[in-house]
Amino acid sequence: MNMTPIDSAPVLCLLHSVVNAMVFHPGDLKIEHKALSASLEVKIQANAADTSRLIGKGRQNHKALSIVFAVICRNRGYRFYLARIVEPDVGDAGEGFVFVPDSNWPRERIKELLCDVARAIFPHTSDPLVLLADSIEEDRTTLEVYVSPKESREVIELVRPELDRIFGGIGSVHGRKLAVDVIPQRVESGELRVERPEVQPKSASGRWAREIP
């Protein structure tokens, strides 16, 4: 029986980057883990003012992190378990949150983070393309993630709302209302490839003429 602990460092590094971006007090963030031969168990503790953000209404943010990183770990051959967010020992839970738009929000840093997450989720997409579609509303942007058409549609439908929730939380910290969409479409040299359907001849004789060399 193989009892060698899994190599959890890449996943933990990505998890730390994501959670770090979701909170206002990253210096108070603590992530503990236990790596076994076939699973990774994680506990997160944050500033009291950030704890509710990581849990989310109806535990939706906690669920989103659990689902996204379960998929990432499954791709690497092991299970992922995110424990309940640990009770904070620093900060003030009564600290209120008011969304403040910021025109200088870190577009490229958040875009790069989403690229890293998408690369870890989708095994057939080595270089995901993320395009930013700004709304007429000055404080809203959709992050469009283009992945290989070979990716599982089931996985795309599973992670799309969870990525939307996670990056929505990240956006609120950085002064931007963010949404995420995942779109299977071929990308070549960093550009979208438009698939054009082959035009069929109208007559049977036309089809034969095309098929005969």
For residues 74 and 116, the answer to whether their CB atoms sit within 8 Å is no
Q: Which of 183, 180, 182, 181 is nearest to 168 (CA)?
A: 180
Helix axis angle for 60-75 and 48-55, nearest 10°, is: 70
**pLDDT attached to residue 191:** 65
Q: Model-level pTM?
A: 0.85
pLDDT averaged per 10 residues in sequence order, the chain, 213 residues:
76 98 95 93 95 94 98 96 90 79 95 98 94 88 96 97 98 96 80 51 46 41
**pLDDT attached to residue 4:** 72
For residues 13 and 44, the answer to whether their CB atoms sit within 8 Å is no
**H helices present in 76-145, as ranges:** 107-121
10 Å CB burial of residue 84 (0-12, 13-18, 19+) is exposed
**pLDDT attached to residue 5:** 73
Main-chain dihedrals φ then ψ at residue 61, nearest 5 degrees: -70, -40
Domains and CATH numbers, the chain: 9-82 (3.30.300.20), 107-192 (3.30.70)
**pLDDT attached to residue 87:** 86
Pairing state between β 30-35 and 187-188: unpaired
Q: Which of 120, 108, 106 is nearest to 14 (CA)?
A: 120
Distance, CA of 185 to CA of 167 (rounded, Å): 21
